[in-house]
Structure 1
Amino acid sequence: MKLEFKGASREVGRSAVLVDDSIMLDYGLKPGEHTQYPLNGSKPDAVLVSHAHLDHAGAVPNLMDMAPEVFMTPLTFDLAAMLARDTLKIADRKGEDAGFDSMDLSRFMQKTNTIDPDIEFHTHGYRAQFHDAGHIPGAASIYLEGKDSKSLFYTGDINTLDTRLVFGAGDFPDADTLIIESTYFGEDHPPRKEMENAFIDSLMDTLNIGGNVIIPAFAIGRTQEILMLLESHGIGAYVDGMGVSAYKLMMKYPHYLRNPNQLKRAFKNATIVSGRKRDKVPLESSVIVTTAGMLNGGPVMYYLKKIFKDPKSKILITGYQVEGTNGRMALDNGVIENDGVIQQLGIKVEQYDFSAHCGDRELKAIVSEFCDRGTEHVFTMHGDDTESFAEWIREEIGVDAHAPELGEKFNV
């Protein structure tokens, strides 16, 4: 197999791996001040998508002029289509180029094949199968076997631990080559229960003094998990943004969820806010769960514009913040850019590790398990320290491992 790493090489974002110039594994974008895309020049016959987050699926419609076959799980398709429509709407409002148009989106809808996990399928001479990745509902790792019987396993974003929303990944197949994400290599997540308690304590402290709690949350996965946590503590919340639409899509596929009844209850007990009613939300001792998770646009900016100076209130950040985003600037420098204006935050900013990714311990366990069962080559990607991860694999496990640079090619 020939592998070419078109993105997410020694970075987080724009995941894309091209296999034998034919099969593309993910095709995402990297958010920031200027959106970055995978290296161009690819003409894949098929695109296999691990999950719907923009850094893995957001640029797939850009490939539709080449008419590749597209494969993903049914829920991933619904969520990816929702995000693609939103991307076009935002680009149209800003007068910007989304990288694709409505015709590309229509082709994407027509060319996508939906396959549930554990069902074998074939494309252009390759045998493939999705495996539950435990990251967000519908997320899958990808097994691919080539015409020469060489096989690889691409984790995508993966989590082997259960969360409130989904079960953790497990039961991996044997594979000659492993391509693994590295987001949290070198960093273990705190025990989930401990972190949830600290989050709730901070939130309640804020409400008790009349402050507001703004919880920026990714629309897919994080919004739903946070509302389930709040509901379990009897805390009412306002929920605003695309997380509501994502919830409705998830409920069409309850078998992808760990506890669909609890998720349904969490949204039933929340107050759903539409754009027209946003100004009716009382900004006094209120909890608002809203997109965007990295503070780059979305309803969250409306609320922050009103209370960014309020020292009694808090922003509780719940996810990874890519460099160059408002979320990262808020954490590092206490500032955000809102409608072209730099705002110095008086509101407190805290970050909690609700990660849906494996931590260091789990990443190492995955690699060890694969190599114990015969994996000969490991590639580390989608992380800020992929080189150290590859070095650990070579030194501790004794297996060939690489941290590809952008555009680098390998034969395995």
Structure 2
Amino acid sequence: MELQFYGATERVTGSCHILKVQGRCFLLDCGLIQGLPEEEALNRSRFPFDPAEVDAVILSHGHIDHSGRLPLLVREGFSGPIYVQRATRDLALVLLQDSARLAEQDVRYRNRHAEREGLAPVEPLSTVEDAITAVNLMQPLSYDERHSAGPGVEFCFRDAGHILGSAIVELWLEEDARRHKLVYSGDLGQFDSPILRDPVFLSAADTVIIESTYGDRQHKPMQETLDELGGIIRSARQGGGNILIPAFAIGRSQELLYLFGMHFDAWQLDGWRMFLDSPMAIEATAIYWEYPELYDEDAAIAYREAREVFGRLDLTLTRKVEQSMKINDIESGAIIIAGSGMCNGGRILYHLKQNIERPECHLLFTGYQAEGTLGRAIVEGRKSVRIHGRDYMVRAAVHTIGGMSAHGDCNDMLRWAEAFRPAPDFYVVHGDEQPKQAFAAMLRERLGAEVHIPAAGESIELG
């Protein structure tokens, strides 16, 4: 039994780990590398295995940094099952097709320039057809049911509380009379976050692969976050103008709508016109609505009382470009939720062009802004930013709301890790270097555990 650490070892994104048992090969995730152009170029590197010889993929959740190279895997010969939680399959259909469309658009743009310069054309990393083929290989499963992935490999999905359908993967391995319990955390959500249930605790494992995205920081308590959100909205009401919220289509957009419904009176939302201006977020919201059995107790009550809780929201879902363009005629009283969450593309750019130079307007950031993105430049206090080739002065009020991350902080992850008795060997992945080192030190100090930070390509023998 062998485990090889391939992706999300030197960075946060690109999750992929290779498991070999009884002569068969399995992947835990197959994600896209995201970030700076030189990092994203690594997605075109060859896999360190023959995709045609991979027997199965076990996918923790639908986010592109965990699923985004599945279409490429299929294009290069993989044809086995992809095991997913039921809601993950529905979200993956939306996410993978969107990612492929963006890749095709980017290649068309680049090839027009290449043709003028006499350069050879390039192919997209994957196509919409590849994405659909990958989704058709997905076998949807429920939480808490044990399944076989092949000889010597049984697994079970447990709720990770990160996004809808996100899973902790629990694996029971056997080879030559050796047995080994492996747990892969996937991405762990916050405890007590809106809509979704808390991550499930597990008590037994020999080896645990654990994420460390926020391994060196603590999120603001949820109540402080809610108080801050309400205060900004009430202040914006008095000053006039619009509120722009760059939001991720999966998870964050749904949380915001939920919170607006639950705090309608306290936040004085009567009179505000709301727009969910993201076709992908609209599709994802419809999927979230189909899985009330995955909600926490408060969200389940809200679902049953949906007409009362959400019926007062003056909400418009803008699927078409023409509908989105009309929003820019509104100078005051609009709350606009639009992608992308880091302002590196999408409809939010057009709303920024109309509002960013207006002091009465508010920009409300609720998620992580990666280095090199427009969102990062704005939250770091840049006085002027470039959008679509033109410079704009940042005169709108800028707010960064902590506490709404889909990832747990170091205390959430430690709380989850402490449930194992006795402490297993931990392998810390999915983090920048400082968070990984900090979280590894916490695990050693608090649990007295053997903790490793694997390098890319490093292999270990299990059992």
What's 2:185 paired with? Answer: 155
* d(CA) in 2 for partners of 1:336, 1:87: 26
- CA–CA separation in structure 1 for the residues paired with 2:236 and 2:247: 18
Deviates further, 356-365 or 30-39? 30-39
Alignment of 1:370-381 (within 5 A): 370=420, 373-381=421-429
Separation of aligned partners in 2, 1:28 and 1:13: 7
- How far does residue 344 in structure 1 lie from its aligned partner after superposition? 4.4
Q: Does 1:291 align with 2:339?
A: yes
1:190-269 equivalence runs, <5 A: 190-234=220-264, 235=269, 236=272, 237-241=274-278, 242-258=280-296, 259-260=299-300, 262=302, 264-265=306-307, 269=313
Asked if structure 2 preserves the Cα contact closer than 8 Å seen for 1:87 and 1:98, the reply is no
Give, in whole Å, the separation in 2 of the partners of 1:250 and 1:99.
Answer: 29
Which of the two has higher C-alpha Rg? Answer: 2
For residue 30 of structure 1, give the secondary structure of its aligned residue in structure 2: coil
Tell me if structure 2 keeps the 8 A contact 1:177–1:375.
no
Paired amino acid for 1:27: C
Amino acid at match of 1:41: P
Q: Over residues 369-405 of structure 1, what are the superposed CA-to-partner deviations in whole Å (9 max), with x where a residue is unaligned?
A: 22xx134310111122212222332344222111122
Which amino acid is the alignment partner of residue 347 of structure 1?
A: A
- Structure 1 unaligned runs (5+)? none
1:277 aligns with 2:277: no
Structure 1 residues 166 and 104: CA distance shift in structure 2, 3 A: same
State how far apart, in whole Å, the 2-side matches of 1:408 and 1:355 are. 30
Q: Matches of residues 74-113 of structure 1 in structure 2 within 5 Å?
A: 74-94=86-106, 95=108, 97-113=123-139
- Give the counterpart letter for 2:28 in structure 1: L
Q: What is the deviation of 1:365? A: 2.0
1:268-323 Cα distance to aligned partner (Å, 9 max, x none): 53221232211222131311111111112111112112112122212111112222
Q: 1:172 — aligned with what?
A: 202
Per-residue CA distance 1:10-51 (angstroms, 9 max, x = gap): 422111111227221112123334235566223332111111
Preserved CA contact (<8 Å) 2:190 2:406: no
Given candidates 341, 344, 352, the residue that maps to 2:401 is 352
Q: Which residue among 131, 141, 160 is the counterpart of 2:158?
A: 131
The one of 19, 27, 32 equivalent to 1:29 is 32
CA–CA separation in structure 2 for the residues paired with 1:4 and 1:222 = 32
Seen in structure 2, the aligned counterparts of structure 1 residues 158 and 228 have a Cα distance that, compared at 3 Å, is same
What is the aligned partner in structure 2 of residue 339 from structure 1? 388
**Which stretch shows the higher mean deviation, 386-395 or 285-294?**
386-395
Counterpart residue number, 2:117: none
Deviation at 1:333, TM superposition (A): 4.8
**Structure 1-normalised TM-score?**
0.92
2:456 partner SS: coil
Contact 1:199–1:352 (CA under 8 A) maintained in structure 2: yes
Cα displacement (A) at 1:182: 0.9
SS at match of 1:108: helix
Once the two structures are TM-superposed, the CA of residue 84 in structure 1 deviates from its matched residue by 1.2
Return the alpha-carbon distance in structure 2 between the equivalents of residues 207 and 143 of structure 1: 48
| 1:267 Cα deviation after fit | 6.1
**Matches of 1:375 and 1:2 in 2, distance apart?**
21
Q: Greater shift after overlay, 30-39 or 343-352?
A: 30-39
Distance in structure 1 (CA, Å) of the matches to 2:71 and 2:277? 27
Q: Which residue of structure 1 aligns with residue 453 of structure 2?
A: 403
Tell me the SS of whatever aligns to 1:93. helix
The 1:381/1:311 distance shift into structure 2, 3 A limit, reads: same
Q: Larger deviation: 270-279 or 87-96?
A: 87-96
Once residues 6 and 97 of structure 2 are traced to their aligned partners in structure 1, the CA distance between those partners, rounded to angstroms, is: 24
Aligned residue type for 1:172: L
**Residue number in structure 2 paired with 1:9:** 9
Deviates more, 1:322-331 or 1:56-65: 322-331
Q: Do the aligned partners of 1:137 and 1:165 also contact (CA within 8 Å) in 2?
A: no
| Worse-matched range after superposition: 13-22 or 259-268 | 259-268
- Distance in 2 between residues matched to 1:347 and 1:31, nearest whole Å: 29
For residues 313-351 of structure 1, give each alpha carbon's deviation from its aligned partner in whole angstroms, at most 9, with x where no partner exists.
Answer: 121111122222222222225255533545442223221
SS of the residue 1:369 aligns to = coil
Q: Does structure 1 conserve the Cα–Cα contact (< 8 Å) formed by 2:30 and 2:69?
A: yes
Judge which range, 255-264 or 140-149, deviates more.
255-264
Partner of 1:369: 419
CA offset digits 1:222-275 (Å, max 9, x no partner) = 101111112223224211102111011122222122325636556653221232
Name the Cα RMSD after superposition. 2.2
SS in 2 for 1:118: coil
Query: What is the number of equivalent residue pairs in this alignment?
Result: 410
TM-score by length of 2: 0.83
1:220 Cα deviation from its structure 2 partner: 0.9
C-alpha distance in 1, partners of 2:310/2:284? 12
Classify 1:323/1:36 alpha carbon distance in 2 versus 1 (closer, same or farther; 3 Å): farther
Distance 1:143 1:37 in 2: 29
> Which AA in structure 2 matches 1:75?
A
Q: What's the offset of the Cα at 1:115?
A: 0.6
Q: Which residue of 2 aligns with 1:68?
A: 80
User: Residue 52 in 1 paired to residue 62 in 2?
Assistant: yes
Deviation at 1:189, TM superposition (A): 1.5
How far residue 85 of structure 1 moved from its aligned partner, in angstroms, is 1.3
Partner of 1:183: 213
In the superposition, relative to structure 1, how do residues 405 and 364 fare at CA in structure 2: closer, same or farther (>3 Å)? same
Q: Which moved more, 1:342-351 or 1:231-240?
A: 342-351
Whichever residue aligns with residue 16 of structure 1, its letter is C
Please, which of 130, 137, 148 is the counterpart of residue 122 of structure 1? 148
Segments of structure 2 that go 5 or more residues without pairing to the other structure are 111-122
